[in-house]
């Protein structure tokens, strides 16, 4: 069956399905009960599944993650909501020093099926610590899987696939797209959790990104087409591990690539992908892999976010530079 719904409702439906099919799944987070979370992703779930399955936690991110580690040791599958991206750092030690390492510490005998949902990124005019892109911290940490959906269908299926994973998953939700609607096929997932996807075919330049940036890349590709340039757009979907197959196949055809992200550019996910593509497809490249990113400064006040965040014009400028080589 196919339904049209925004990403926030697709996540809600995916969480509901996991709660229904596995009684070891439980949700934890600040204000996720009667309020349904700041973005209403968990709306209605506590009333249907009760406060022992959908738990309103204290305002203590380190405590939320620490409790989830204990629950996972006891056979549960906790799904945590971090209210905003910038609030994850009080739990950073629990995530990177404990959650990411426990399975390895026990030589695989103790699994950590914990999902940490994090609304991330800009475009909502919020204040400090409410618009950040911390993905590089987690992709740099062995033992964590990191994913980010950009469509409603991916949101619905990827949250269920993340919950089913035996490993901890950092699930990054582009908050700017919570209300973006799309078709959701509730019968079967389109792709595995860690597969990248070509969302637009093209022949001249490969554009790659994740989360909210995929929409911006598609806008740039449409504008480029009106000027006679054909851009292929790839949604990364999985940030760790990265599925390089479709990216390398595309670059070997186009000879050019631009990676776009909201996060600052220095030592970022885009840096790693650019380096890997250069290593593995060097002789196919007609130009250097170019990156478009947020600037290497703290996320600015809301009135400046339009200058800070990459837009279609900045991406098109990179496309023009690539074609000029």
- Positions marked catalytic: 130
Phi, psi at 233, each rounded to 5°: -115, 130
Query: Which stretches does DSSP call E strand in the chain?
Result: 2-6, 25-29, 54-56, 77-81, 115-120, 145-147, 169-174, 181-185, 197-200, 205-209, 231-235, 238-240, 257-264, 290-294
Residues 6+ apart with CB under 8 A from 201: 232
Is-contact 41 78, C-beta < 8 A?
Answer: no
Tell me the C-alpha distance between 19 and 14, whole Å. 9
For 2, the token pair is: 């196919």
At 25 the three-state DSSP class reads strand
The DSSP letter of residue 301 is P
Tell me the C-alpha distance between 184 and 292, whole Å. 30
Bridge partners of residue 174, in order along the sequence? 120
- Give the helix/strand (H/E) hosting 107: none
Tell me the C-alpha distance between 221 and 66, whole Å. 44
Phi, psi at 81, each rounded to 5°: -110, 120
At 287 the three-state DSSP class reads coil
Closest CA to 10 of 197, 211, 181, 162: 181
For 64, the token pair is: 């939320």
Q: Which residues of 39-59 are buried (b: 16+ CB within 10 A; e: fewer)?
A: bebbbebbeebeeebbbbbee
């Amino acid at each position: 069956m196919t339904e049209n719904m925004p990403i926030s409702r697709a996540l809600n439906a995916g969480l509901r399905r996991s709660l229904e099919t596995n009684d070891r799944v439980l949700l934890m987070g600040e204000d996720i009960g009667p309020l349904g979370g700041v973005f209403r992703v968990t709306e209605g779930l506590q009333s249907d599944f009760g406060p022992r399955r959908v738990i309103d936690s204290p305002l203590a991110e380190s405590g939320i993650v620490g409790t989830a580690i204990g629950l996972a040791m006891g056979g549960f599958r906790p799904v945590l909501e971090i209210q905003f991206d910038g609030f994850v750092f009080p739990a950073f030690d629990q995530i990177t020093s404990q959650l990411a390492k426990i399975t390895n510490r026990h030589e695989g005998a103790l699994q950590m099926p914990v999902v940490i949902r994090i609304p991330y990124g800009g475009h909502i005019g919020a204040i400090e610590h409410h618009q950040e892109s911390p993905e590089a911290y987690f992709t740099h940490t062995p033992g964590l899987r990191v994913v980010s959906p950009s469509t409603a269908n991916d949101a619905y299926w990827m949250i269920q696939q993340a919950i089913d994973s035996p490993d901890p998953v950092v699930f990054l939700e582009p908050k700017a797209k919570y209300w973006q609607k799309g078709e959701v096929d509730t019968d079967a997932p389109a792709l595995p959790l860690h597969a990248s996807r070509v969302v637009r075919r093209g022949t001249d330049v490969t554009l790659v990104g994740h989360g909210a940036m995929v929409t911006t890349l598609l806008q740039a590709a449409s504008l480029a087409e009106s000027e006679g340039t054909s851009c292929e757009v790839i949604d990364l979907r999985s940030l760790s591990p990265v599925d390089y197959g479709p990216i390398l196949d595309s670059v070997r055809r186009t000879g050019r690539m631009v990676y776009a992200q909201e996060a600052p550019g220095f030592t970022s996910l885009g840096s790693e992908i650019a380096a890997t593509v250069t290593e593995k497809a060097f002789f196919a490249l007609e130009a250097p892999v170019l990156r478009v990113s947020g600037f290497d400064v703290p996320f600015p006040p809301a009135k400046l976010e339009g200058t800070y965040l990459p837009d279609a014009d900045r991406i098109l400028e990179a496309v023009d530079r690539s074609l000029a080589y």
